[in-house]
Structure 1
Amino acid sequence: MKSLPGKLVWVEHASPDPAEASRFYGALFGWEVSLMDIGGETYQVIMNAGLGMGGYRHAQQGEPCNWGIYLSVADVDQSFAQALVGGASPCMEPRDFPPVGRGATLLDPVGAMFSIWRGNADDAPDASVPTGHWCWHELHATDDDRALQFYETLFGLSHDSMPAGEGSYYILKDGEVGRGGLIRNPGGAGPSLWLSYVLVTDVDASARKAESLGAEISSPPEDIPGIGRYATVRDPQGGLFALFLPERQ
């Protein structure tokens, strides 16, 4: 089984009402749901263009609504132990999720939650994604230097950087393949969190539609010169995500 360390392989929505989350995102993006038995429990798999790309689950007591990321590793137990040595804190110890794989969840050294995953099948090869799919994710960190060192060490990644405001925007890379972004929160303020982006054909129209469905626009549509156009949205239950359309080359 082939794994691509650091690759985003799953994004999961946790909320008090997964059925409501499914209705909202189904109306916004046309996502569908396929039910799957995982470890004896029914799990809602998010389907887009016939591909599973995430899931909906009930949030645990005291857990705010969120989109959680799963990053691929070759060995969950080994990476979990390495993450703890690197300053992470455990949220969920390594466990099996039959028949799909093994995973664990941690808080990284700057306080952002993430999961590591080893599927029972090969990771999908790196390729362009269809509209409505997750197309990017980035860490907004209270301490970019510490976060960069942690993720590079844990996943064996390198990085490129570019100016961004008063600091830098880092692109975590596996060879020449971008695995995600990293940027320091203004003033180093908290909280640290991972933000995932959905590929759309019209950021402004998607933002308006999200708002009409009860979402809140956290940051209105804006161009990033040479990159594309984006907006950030908080869904009706409080989950934060982003819309993105790349600039035509």
Structure 2
Amino acid sequence: MSTYPNGRFVWFDLMTSDVPAAQAFYTSVVGWSARDAGMPGDYYTLLSAASTDVGGIMPIREHLAAAGAKPTWMMYIGVDDVDAFAARVKDAGGVIHRAPEDIPGVGRFAVVADPHGATFVLFWGNGEPREATPATPGHVGWHELLTEDLDAAWAFYSNLFGWTKAQTVDMGPMGLYQTFVVNGPQGGGMMNKPPNLPVSFWGLYFTVEGSVTAAVERAKEAGGQLLQGPHEVPGGAWIAHCLDPQGATFNLTSATQ
């Protein structure tokens, strides 16, 4: 049995209404390569950065589409006991959207949400967890929570996963931005969401090679939209907020404009 360090971001995937179109879009914009996962009875596309599998794409299930589910990126947080952590999420006021179950030959997972509705996946894998390489193109360079209550959200996640506070940035009228540290070089931030956003959610920043502006242009040429940016953030990175052709939000980051 592998030992997963609790609280480390270990995987991400996209649920979308058009897998082939999404695959073509993101391989062009981010530079991933893609291949079928070969899972019997399931349709799952693996995304790779160089020779490392980093994420995947799958279709929105019919019952979820019927319930109004839209294309969205999901992040997986590693734990050593999915069932125990799912129970802790519920006890802390969160919700279990999909009860713990096995992925044959891969691991065990549960889809949950924090008390303010931001969804994420608890995951334990059969193999060793991937090493975090946030500055490497094709990997997730940052994880960001927009929430209804920053203080309550921090209490929930820090108690659940043991995350520790790093820098607190005063964003003026937008409030405080709390950065945090996970095991190793991983990190992220959280802040109160703007009033125009209807729900709390986790956002992912994909590191791209070279200029973030060039990546934005690739996104627009492939049918995506630029929502905001590019702009520089504390620490010197450049970011841009985007929308893919199927309607999923995503973010790009690079060391250069």
Q: Is this a same-fold pair by TM over 0.5?
A: yes
Task: Classify the secondary structure of the residue corresponding to 1:206.
Answer: helix
Match of 1:180 in 2: 188
Q: Which residue is 2:172 aligned to?
A: 165
Provide the rounded CA distance (Å) in 1 between the counterparts of 2:251 and 2:227. Answer: 9
Equivalent residue for 2:140, pick from 134, 150, 172:
134
SS in 1 for 2:213: helix
Return the alpha-carbon distance in structure 2 between the equivalents of residues 109 and 211 of structure 1: 35
What amino acid sits opposite 1:31 in the alignment? Answer: W
Which stretch shifts more, 147-156 or 219-228? 219-228
Deviations 1:85-135 (A, max 9, x none): 011111110000011110000121111111110011121234454212221
- Tell me, yes or no, if the aligned pair for 2:133 and 2:185 is still in contact at 8 Å: no
The residue that corresponds to 1:66 in the other structure is 72
Aligned-partner Cα distance in 1 for 2:41–2:105: 10
Aligned length: 248
User: For 1:228-239, what aligned pairs fall within 5 Å after superposition?
Assistant: 228-239=237-248
Q: CA deviation at 1:40?
A: 4.3
C-alpha separation in 1, matches of 2:217 and 2:171: 27
Match for 2:239: what amino acid?
Y
Pairwise CA distance, 1:67: 0.4
The residue that corresponds to 1:8 in the other structure is 9
* Shift, 1:187, TM fit: 4.6
* Aligned-pair Cα RMSD in Å: 2.0
Q: Tell me, what secondary structure is at the counterpart of 1:10?
A: strand
Name 1:89's counterpart in structure 2.
95
How many Å apart are 1:212 and its aligned residue? 1.2
Give the match's secondary structure for 2:25.
helix
Rounded Cα–Cα distance in structure 1 between residues aligned with 2:30 and 2:255: 17
Cα distance in 2 for residues equivalent to 1:150 and 1:94: 20
Contact between 2:143 and 2:203, CA under 8 Å: does it hold in 1? yes
Worse overlay, 125-134 or 115-124: 125-134
Contact 1:38 / 1:98 at 8 angstroms: preserved in 2? no
CA contact (8 A) 2:134 2:186 kept: no
Alignment CA distance shift 1:125-1:176 (3 Å): closer
8 Å CA contact 1:46–1:56 kept in 2: the answer is yes
**Residue in structure 1 matched with residue 107 of structure 2 by the alignment:** 101
Match of 1:197 in 2: 205
Q: Alpha carbons of 1:226 and 1:43: their partners in 2 closer, same or farther (altered >3 Å)?
A: closer
Cα gap change, 1:52/1:147 in structure 2, threshold over 3 Å: closer, same or farther? Answer: same
Question: AA paired with 1:223?
Answer: E
Structure 1 residue 146: deviation in Å?
Answer: 1.2
User: Is 1:80–2:86 an aligned residue pair?
Assistant: yes
TM-score, normalising length from structure 1? 0.92
Work out whether residues 39 and 99 of structure 1, in 8 Å CA contact, stay in contact via their aligned partners in 2: no
Structure 2 CA distance, aligned partners of 1:27 and 1:188? 31
Mapped to 2, the partners of 1:247 and 1:30 lie a distance apart of: 17
Give SS of 1:186's match.
coil
Unaligned 5+ runs, structure 1: none
Amino acid at match of 1:168: L
Q: How much does 1:215 deviate?
A: 0.5
